[in-house]
Amino acid sequence: MSDFDEKDIDKKDIDETEKKDGQLTGQADGEKEKEKESDYEDVCFICRRPESKAGKMFKLPNNITVCNDCMHKTMDTVSQFDYQGMLNNPAFMDDLNKNMNGQGFPNIRFVNLSDLQGEGGIPNKQRMKKKKPGKDTEPALDIKNIPPPHKIKAQLDDYVIGQEHAKKVISVAVYNHYKRVATGTMDDIEIEKSNMLMIGPTGCGKTYLVKTLARLLDVPLAIADATSLTEAGYIGDDIESVLSKLLMAADNDAEKAERGIVFIDEIDKIAKKKNTNSRDVSGESVQQGLLRLLEGADVEVPVGANSKNAMVPLTTINTRNILFICGGAFPDLEEIIKQRLTKQTSIGFNAELKDRFDKDKNILSQVTVEDLKKFGMIPEFLGRLPVIYTLAELDKDMMIKILKEPKNAILKQYQKLLELDEVKLEFDEGALEAIAEKAMKKDTGARALRAIIEEFMLDIMYEIPKDDNIGRVTITREYIEGTGGPVIDIRSIGGENPDELKVIEDKSTEQKQ
C-alpha cells in the first residue's frame, strides 16, 4: 500500500473519530439540558397545576404542556361542535372556495403556536423544583457549619454603625433559627421559633441591617413591604405574596424556602385605622391574615406572582420553620409612651412634669405591648412576635462614623468615583462635623447624609473632568456651610511646585447669596 493510501486511511479514521466525538459531546449537552429541565415540574398551560398535582402531561410544540383533564375537556368541547351543519351551508362553502387562492379563510382565525413562544412555554420562575427521591434523610443544615452569634455580629459591625443591642438580638435569633432547623427536635422537645418586632425611627438602619444580613448568610431571605398588602379579593398584593418572594429567593425550591427568613418592612402601616366606618382592607384585616403565617401553617402560595388567579400555579409551603422579622418606624408612638409615663398626678410630692420626657431621645426603648396595642396593633398579632426590641436614634458622633467607617461608606463611594478620574478626594474633620450637623436638623436619619453630600458634590463632579491638572480635592467646613470653596491641589507639571494650591470659590453659593 502506498503512502498516499495510508494518509487517506488515517484521515478517514480521524474524521470518523471526530464525528463520534461531536456526536458524544452533542448528546452530553442534550442530556445536560434535559437534566436542567427535569429539575423543574411541568405546569399545565390551561389550569396552571403542576405535574405533581395534575398527573402526567401531554407535551405540545413550543414547550406547551397540557394535563390529562384539560386535554379531555378540550376534546369533548371540540367534538360537540357542529361541523356537519357548517359544511352543508352553501354560503359558507362559496366563501371558502373564493378565499382558497391565498386570501385565507373567511371569519376564521387560526391560532399560531409560535405566537405563544415565551408565554406558552412557562418560564422557570413559575415552575416548582422537583423533590429528589432518597434525600429525605439528609439534614437540611450542618450544625457544625452554623456561624455563632459573635461572628454574625462581627460581620454586621463592618457595615452597620452603632445599634449594638439590635445587632446582638438579631445575631442570636438567626443562630437559634439555624440550630432549630438543623436539629428539628432535641429529646422530643420541640423548639419554638422566636419571631421579632424591630422598632426604630426612620433612617436608623432597620432595613439596612436586614439587607446586610441577607448578603452575609447562606439562607433564603426575602424582604417584603407591608404597605402593598391587602385583604384577599381587593386590589393589591395578597398576604401570601410575602412567601412568594421567599420562594423566588430559594429558586422555587419549597424545601429550601421552608427554612428561610422573611423581613416585613413598614409593619406599622397596617395598624388599625381609627375613627373609620369603612372596611379596613389594608389594616386590621392584613394583621389577621398574617396570623397563620407567623404561627406556622400550610399555606397555598402563588408561584412567580403577587396574587392568586387562574393563570398562576400554586404550591404549598409550611411556615413552621420560617423566621419572621417585622420592622417599622411607628410614628407618634413616642407620644403614647409619654402619656403612659406621665399618667401620675401633676400636683403633690410625687408629681411628674409633663415635659420631662420631651428631650429623651431613647424613649422608644421603654415601649411595652400595651403601647403597641394603643397604636393599633391587635393583641393576637403581637402575641406571635415575642421578641420586641428598639433601635436608638442616631446622634452626631454616629453620623460622622457612618460617613467614613463602614466598608461601603458614602465618602468611600465618592473617593472611588474620583479615583477613576485619577483625583484624590479628602474631607477634613470640620467638613464631616458640618455634614453631621446639617443631617441632624433634617430628622430623617442616615438618609439625610446622602442628600447633603449629593448637593455639595454636584459642582465638584461636574468641574473636575474639565481639567486634567487637578490632582486632589479637599472638602472644608467653609465649603459645606457656603462661606468658602474646596481646596484644589494642582499636579506638578514640568518642575512646578507640587504644593501650589489653588482655591476655587463655589459659584453656586454666590448665586444663592
Question: What is the rounded average pLDDT for all residues in the chain?
Answer: 77
Query: When comparing pLDDT for 95 and 134, which is higher?
Result: 95
Dist CA 53 CA 55 (whole Å): 6
Grid cell listed for 25: 459531546
Mean pLDDT of 182-189: 66
Q: What is the pLDDT of residue 110?
A: 41
Provide φ and ψ at 43, rounded to 5°: -120, 135
Grid cell listed for 293: 403565617
Q: What is the pLDDT of residues 157-170, one digit of tens each?
A: 988 888 899 999 99
Q: What is the pLDDT of residue 233?
A: 80
Dist CA 50 CA 42 (whole Å): 6
Provide φ and ψ at 427, rounded to 5°: -125, 130
Q: What is the pLDDT of residue 199?
A: 94
Using DSSP's 3-state secondary structure scheme, residue 152 falls into helix
Dist CA 495 CA 59 (whole Å): 78
First to last CA, the chain: 101
pLDDT band at 344 (very low <50, low <70, confident <90, very high): low
- Above 50 in pLDDT, residue 136? no
Q: What is the pLDDT of residue 184?
A: 66
Q: What is the pLDDT of residues 461-482, one digit of tens each?
A: 898 888 888 889 999 999 999 8
Q: What is the pLDDT of residue 108?
A: 47
CA distances to 187, 407, 422, 440, 449 from 452, in Å: 57, 20, 24, 11, 5
Q: What is the CATH number that goes with domain 143-328?
A: 3.40.50.300
> Are 6 and 15 spatial neighbours (Cβ–Cβ below 8 Å)?
no
Mean pLDDT of 264-278: 85
Q: What is the pLDDT of residues 361-379, one digit of tens each?
A: 778 888 999 999 999 999 9
* Sole residue written with cell 417584603: 224
The residue extents of the domains of the chain are: 1-35, 39-126, 143-328, 333-374, 396-512
- Above 60 in pLDDT, residue 185? no
- Above 50 in pLDDT, residue 513? no
Q: What is the pLDDT of residue 511?
A: 39
Q: What is the pLDDT of residue 112?
A: 44
Please choose, from the candidates 495, 129, 133, the residue with its C-alpha nearest in 3D space to the C-alpha of residue 313: 129
Q: What is the pLDDT of residue 492?
A: 66
Q: What is the pLDDT of residues 14-38, one digit of tens each?
A: 556 555 555 555 555 555 555 555 6
Q: For a pLDDT cut of 70, what percent of the chain falls above it? A: 70
> Are 301 and 224 spatial neighbours (Cβ–Cβ below 8 Å)?
no
Dist CA 274 CA 286 (whole Å): 15
Q: What is the pLDDT of residue 306?
A: 72
Q: What is the pLDDT of residues 479-497, one digit of tens each?
A: 999 888 888 888 765 444 4
Q: What is the pLDDT of residue 190?
A: 76
Query: When comparing pLDDT for 143 and 298, which is higher?
Result: 298
CA-based angle 475:476:481, to the nearest 5?
115
Q: For a pLDDT cut of 90, what percent of the chain falls above it? A: 24
CATH 1.10.10.10 fits 396-512, yes or no: no
> Are 162 and 398 spatial neighbours (Cβ–Cβ below 8 Å)?
yes
How many alpha carbons fall within 13 Å on the CB side of residue 478?
10
Rank 1-10, 12-21, 95-104, 192-201 by mean pLDDT and report only the highest: 192-201
Query: When comparing pLDDT for 337 and 130, which is higher?
Result: 337
DSSP single-letter state for residue 364:
G
- Above 90 in pLDDT, residue 499? no
Cβ burial 22-46 (10 Å sphere, 16+ → b, else e): eeeeeeeeeeeeeeeeebbbbbbbb
Grid cell listed for 334: 413616642
